[in-house]
Amino acid sequence: MRMRPHEKLDVWKLSVEMVVNVYEITKIYPSEERFGLTSQTRRAAVSIPANIAEGAARQHDKEFLQFPSVAQGSASELETELLIAHRLGYLEESAHRKIYDEVNTIAPLIIGLTNHVKSRMR
């Protein structure tokens, strides 16, 4: 089976693992948050690798560039939602720190990917 372009990217691999971790930690959120903070947090997390994959599948670099930007925005959104969950007492400090650190490992990689693609366009 042929490997898709995004499957070769470390940023995609790390962000998929982060999504799994986000799903794990949000299992403990209160049930009344199922359609609120839980759903929003999970969607922001999933958006990161999904946008990287979608961009990598594009035929032209110019098309590709919009997708890492969306992924970066989702990373910022995820950080905000995790902070809110932590402040509301839904998320312990250690769990918050773990995912926060993962997001802050991924975000610079997204920037690096964007810069790499831009350099190919010159």
Give pLDDT, residue 2.
67
Distance CA 116, CA 113 (A): 5
Let me know if residue 91 belongs to a domain: yes
Give pLDDT, residue 1.
67
Give pLDDT, residue 121.
79
Q: Give me the tens of pLDDT residue by residue for the chain, a chain 122 residues long.
A: 666 889 999 999 999 999 999 999 999 999 999 999 999 999 999 999 999 999 999 888 888 999 999 999 999 999 999 999 999 999 999 999 999 999 999 999 999 999 988 898 77
Let me know if residue 1 belongs to a domain: no
Let me know if residue 97 belongs to a domain: yes
Let me know if residue 25 belongs to a domain: yes
Confidence (pTM): 0.94
First to last CA, the chain: 33
Let me know if residue 3 belongs to a domain: no
- Per the CB < 8 A criterion, the answer to whether 9 and 113 are in contact is yes
- Per the CB < 8 A criterion, the answer to whether 22 and 45 are in contact is yes
Distance CA 66, CA 16 (A): 20
Let me know if residue 73 belongs to a domain: yes
Specify the number of domains making up the chain.
1
CATH assignment at residue 94: 1.20.1440.60
Let me know if residue 10 belongs to a domain: no
- Residue numbers of the domain that contains 96: 15-121
Give pLDDT, residue 4.
82
| HEC letters along the chain | CCCCHHHHCHHHHHHHHHHHHHHHHHCCCCHHHCCCHHHHHHHHHHHHHHHHHHHHCCCCHHHHCHHHHHHHHHHHHHHHHHHHHHHCCCCCHHHHHHHHHHHHHHHHHHHHHHHHHHHHHC
Let me know if residue 20 belongs to a domain: yes
